[in-house]
C-alpha cells in the first residue's frame, strides 16, 4: 500500500486531520523517510520517529520514543516507549507543539 492510498480511504474529518499531521511532519524535515509500517504512515531516520494512525472518531499522532521526551506527561499512553497525541478535529492540532516533540525525537535518533 502507498501512503497516499492510506489517506484516501479515510472518512471526513479523519482524512483532513491525518493530512494536516502529514503536512507538519513533512514540513519539519525532508530527511524523514515516509512509508507504511504496521498498516499506517510511519516516518523514520535511523529508527522509527512517529506515525499517524486514524481511528473511527480520532487520529493518533504516535511518537515511538515519546515516553523519553521532555513533557512526556502531556502525551497519552502507558507503554514502555510509545506515547501519542489524540486529535478529533483540526482545531486541536498545535503545530509548534508537534514540531517541538519531533525535534526532540529526531535528536534522540542521532
Give the C-alpha separation, 50 to 82, whole Å.
9
C-alpha 43: how far from chain center: 8
Render pLDDT for 4-30 as a digit per residue (tens, 0 to 9): 999 999 999 999 999 999 999 999 999
Angle at which helices 14-28 and 95-109 cross, to 10°: 50
Mean pLDDT of 65-73: 91
Task: List Cβ neighbours of 5 (8 Å cut-off, separation of 6 or more).
Answer: none
- What is the model's pLDDT at position 1? 85
Please give the pLDDT value at position 71.
84
C-alpha of 48 from chain center? 11
CA distance 76 to 11: 24
Residue 59 and residue 12 in contact, taking contact as beta carbons nearer than 8 Å: no
The 8-class DSSP code of residue 76 comes to B
Q: Phi, psi at residue 81, to the nearest 5°? A: -125, -55
Q: Whole-prediction pTM value?
A: 0.95
Mean pLDDT computed over 34-55: 97
Confidence of residue 79 (pLDDT cuts 50, 70, 90): confident
56-84 average pLDDT score: 94
User: What is the pLDDT, as a whole number, of residue 110?
Assistant: 81
Amino acid at each position: 500500500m502507498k501512503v497516499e492510498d492510506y489517506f484516501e480511504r479515510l472518512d471526513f474529518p479523519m482524512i483532513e486531520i491525518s493530512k494536516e499531521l502529514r503536512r507538519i511532519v513533512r514540513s519539519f524535515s525532508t530527511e524523514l523517510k515516509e512509508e507504511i509500517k504496521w498498516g499506517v504512515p510511519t516516518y523514520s531516520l535511523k529508527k522509527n520517529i512517529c506515525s499517524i494512525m486514524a481511528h473511527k472518531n480520532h487520529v493518533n499522532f504516535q511518537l515511538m520514543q515519546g515516553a523519553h521526551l521532555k513533557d512526556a506527561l502531556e502525551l497519552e499512553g502507558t507503554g514502555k516507549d510509545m506515547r501519542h497525541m489524540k486529535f478529533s478535529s483540526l482545531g486541536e492540532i498545535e503545530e509548534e507543539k508537534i514540531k517541538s516533540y519531533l525535534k526532540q525525537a529526531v535528536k534522540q535518533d542521532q
